[in-house]
A and B are shown apart, each in its own frame.
Chain A
Amino acid sequence: MTSMLGVERDLNLRETELCLGLPGGGTTTVAEPETAKTTGKRGFSETVDLKLNLQSKEDLNDNVKNIASKDKNNLLSCTKDPSKPPAKAQVVGWPPVRSYRKNIMSQKNTSEEKTEKASGGGGGSAAFVKVCMDGAPYLRKVDLKMYKSYQELSNALSKMFSSFTTGYYGTQGMIDFMNESKLMDLLNSSEYVPTYEDKDGDWMLVGDVPWGMFVDSCKRLRIMKGSEAIGLAPKAMEKCKGRS
């Protein structure tokens, strides 16, 4: 533990973290991805990311506590130094600005960038699709561009439709098409699975193609019982096998 403390003082924390995202790129670290999302709370897609980090939130807090209680003198001398303290990883919920406001501010940044670049007319910056769930009286609309992964999408869906749980999705937040028996279990159960209608009008199981491709081709989402979606399984598995 103490060696970790020593490490933290000298090294940029970012170096020691395992993050999602391209290597060497991106400034977002632990818990505050700058998705320009305005609807839906993002909170727990963030903390899921946390699990994949080498340094858990607890460790981070421990380190911070250790710094404060241990060496106030060091801290004082640090601050008299005109250079900035080492960049800290962002912590969940700090500073205490509501997600609503944070989302709006980050959205403004992206739209201001756009007005500088583009001369007129909006680019398709949103990808709204209707979402319905069998048995639910209300349908919703979601903007697929608000999410960066299947996991984020499934979290959002589970908030909109309380009967839709993400339990079967494994660590990646999506159906593992390569594992045929697991897939069949899911489809034979009474759990709900998300399906989508693609550009060609075919209904597919969500998760069969890479995320970006999905966002481009998805026209509509429908959450149905696994047993009803069984017919869609063969196509999905084929697609996966074909790719790998």
Chain B
Amino acid sequence: MSEDPSIPSSSSSQMSEDDDRSPPLDLIDGPIPSSKSRNCSGVSGSGVGTSVENTVPYPDQVLENVLENVLCFLTSRRDRSSASLVCKSWYRAEALTRSELFIGNCYAVSPRRATARFTRVRAVTIKGKPRFADFNLMPANWGAHLAPWVSSMAKAYPWLEKLCLKRMSVTDDDLALLAESFAGFKELVLVCCDGFGTSGLAVVVSKCRQLRVLDLTETEVMDDDVDWICCFPESQTFLESLMFDCVECHINFEALEKLVARSPSLKKLRLNRHVSIGQLYRLMVRAPQLTHLGTGSFNLSEGMAQGDQELDYVSAFAACKSLVCLSGFREILLDYIPAIYPVCSNLTSLNLSYANITAEQLKPVISQCHKLQSFWVLDSICDEGLKAVATTCKELRELRVFPVNAQEDAEGPVSEVGLEAISEGCRKLRSILYFCQRMTNAAVIAMSKNCSELVVFRLCIMGRRRPDHVTGEPMDEGFGAIVMNCKKLTRLAVSGLLTDRAFSYIGKYGKLVRTLSVAFAGDSDLGLKYVLEGCHKLQKLEIRDSPFGDTALCSGLHHYYNMRFLWMSSCSLTRQGCWAIARELPRLVVEVMKSNEGEEEGDNFDTLYMYRSLEGPRDDIPQFVEILRPGI
């Protein structure tokens, strides 16, 4: 989970696997190949002569000690997985030396099994719900409960230091158990989680005395009327990062100010929208050493008028000489934008995606951001604003353009013009998420040629099945060019009018694609077939509202065990089709669900969600989920 220093970004992209070159391999407890030539019984531990079976203990022992010492430096999950498959000795050594555990699907393996294999883990990452749950495509209470993990880890890893969760259901009780069980707990990162309130936060901050990192990103926190900021210990803290910009509750500012004052190691601070600019000033003055700042509202507190209290915001920013990452601006008062000028030339990351500003308002800022590598913004800046970005930000690696108005038939302030300008100016681009109402194949093709470093390409043409608005043709050629020309592409999201041809391109050229997101696209089963047969590295496939049926589903039988999951909602699948898969692949958990909680029992269903698992059907399914189990 170490940050890539060349792409500083919010913690949510730490969870993204696309920046990590090696594809994630989950725990697979497959058969362990034994060495043919040597008998590696490999009893680890001290003392020659403790081994039972083998013939030459001493060299094995040395080799093993060397191995363990070397493996400590091996951080890549894929490499570790490969190492563990060499022989039993290596398997054991790897298991003992793995200190960071990554669970890509909380239901693929049980806590008991994971903790039994890896006994010396200090840091755990767990991912739960599939991504489409973020868009209300799945009822609440589907699952992904942290509880069984916390209870297992409480016994297995009392020395646990770090827990990162994405899309998990976390309760206050879970947090309380966590706080009680791990005396040396240091880092809690919650991305897109829910189920707990400020009470849970209060327990964590008061009991985890070694806490260095508390990062909440796009996580829902219920308001329990508990003053959690006051619950930090009174003495100096070890806090390095405190991010609570997504917490919608009011906080006690005086307590926060005192907290910041007694946190000399604090480098990252992201405030929520209830912190006014005046309060921000007071905090910045106390913490000029900050590297990452989320500004809160960037507006006056209610009831105050401008001019009431003119603070020297410019100096406050100028004093933060280490500031490289700026975000917030939740209720931005435009008059205060110039305050950030002193830091612009140092910024590597800027998130203006909650600030509804125009191109003219953006230009004075962006024209100074020569070092910018990550930029999140609203489409209110229009194509003109994007041109300004392209002119200055030559180092840009990641761009996200979000819609102010997330509706299908709204006005589109950005278009192919902006995309093409970016592709011309930002040649080092690696990752793009672009929402628009109009697009052309030409612009997408241009980007495929100009930005050969692209790893992530996510284009969302908001009108469903909308063609190239100049030629009237499907967007097949554009996306085809992306998979053809961007040789490092691992993540792709498509949109607009797409025929099966687009998918034939993806299957033919998208050999490194691991994550594919499809909506309202394709003509027939062929489309999905092309992808399942061609994309050998495909791990995560999410499809909605596309005409793919049972035949297409069956064409992926050879590959499903290599995937983390397949999601298909509102497609042309039948129950029989899903049963066929469940019968063929017993280690796959095949969930079918309805999207409305209260619906009657019936044959039809809305969603298929299937994933490999060592554990078989989970025991915590809600009423609207059915798991297809052959033989039952």
Partner-B contacts on A (CB < 8 A): 32, 38-44, 46-48, 50-51, 57-58, 61, 64-65, 67-69, 72, 75-77, 79-80, 84-85, 87-88, 90-102, 104-105, 108, 111, 120-122, 128, 130, 137-142, 159-160, 162
Contact = CB atoms under 8 A, between A and B. Distances in A.
Given A41-B136, A68-B465, A95 B356 contact: no
A120 to B, nearest CB: 7
A47 B222 contact: no
A100 B246 CA distance: 9
A43 B331 contact: no
B223 A98 contact: no
Interface stretch (B233-241, B285-293, B365-373, B406-414): B406-414
Given A121-B302, A138-B199, A102 B406 contact: yes
29 contacts: A41-B140, A41-B194, A43-B140, A47-B136, A50-B596, A64-B520, A69-B547, A76-B467, A76-B473, A88-B408, A88-B464, A91-B464, A92-B136, A94-B135, A96-B134, A96-B460, A96-B519, A97-B406, A100-B218, A104-B330, A104-B354, A105-B406, A121-B303, A122-B303, A128-B223, A138-B172, A138-B197, A138-B224, A141-B249
B224 A139 contact: yes
Given A41-B136, A121-B302, A64 B465 contact: yes
A41 B597 CA distance: 14
Contacts of B405: 105
Interface in B566-603: 570, 595-598
Interface of B: 132, 134-137, 139-141, 172, 192, 194, 197, 199, 218, 220, 222-225, 246, 248-249, 302-303, 305, 330-331, 353-354, 356, 402-409, 435, 460, 462-467, 469, 472-474, 497, 519-520, 523-524, 544-545, 547, 570, 595-598
Nearest to B132: A93
Contact of A99 (B136, B223, B409, B466): B136
A94 B472 contact: no
B435 A41 contact: no
Contacts of A138: 172, 197, 199, 224
Contact of A108 (B356, B406, B570): B356
Contacts of B139: 43-44
A59 to B, nearest CB: 12
Contacts of B469: 79
Contacts of A92: 135-137, 595
B218 A40 contact: no
A39 B223 contact: yes
B135 A96 contact: yes
A98 B302 contact: no
Contacts of A77: 472
B221 to A, nearest CB: 8
Given A80-B472, A105-B406, A47 B140 contact: no
Contacts of A160: 222
Nearest to A66: B547
Given A41-B220, A64-B465, A130-B225, 14 more contacts: A39-B220, A42-B136, A44-B596, A44-B597, A57-B595, A67-B465, A79-B469, A92-B137, A94-B464, A105-B405, A122-B302, A140-B224, A141-B224, A160-B222
A90 B405 CA distance: 13
Given A43-B140, A47-B596, A93-B135, A64 B464 contact: yes
A105 B197 CA distance: 23
B407 A32 contact: yes
A213 B610 CA distance: 46
A74 to B, nearest CB: 11
Contacts of A120: 303, 305
Contacts of A76: 467, 472-473
Contacts of A80: 472
A64 B140 contact: no
A90 B408 contact: yes
Given A96-B460, A160-B222, A111 B331 contact: yes
Interface centre among A57, A94, A108 (most CB of B within 10 A): A94
A48 to B, nearest CB: 8
A137 B224 CA distance: 11
B140 A44 contact: yes
B467 A75 contact: yes
A32 B595 CA distance: 16
Contacts of B249: 141
A77 B473 CA distance: 10
Contacts of B137: 92-93
Nearest to A104: B354
The 5 closest A-B pairs by CB, nearest first: A93-B135, A43-B136, A141-B223, A97-B406, A76-B472
Given A95-B462, A108-B331, A39 B136 contact: no
A97 B402 contact: yes
Contacts of B356: 108
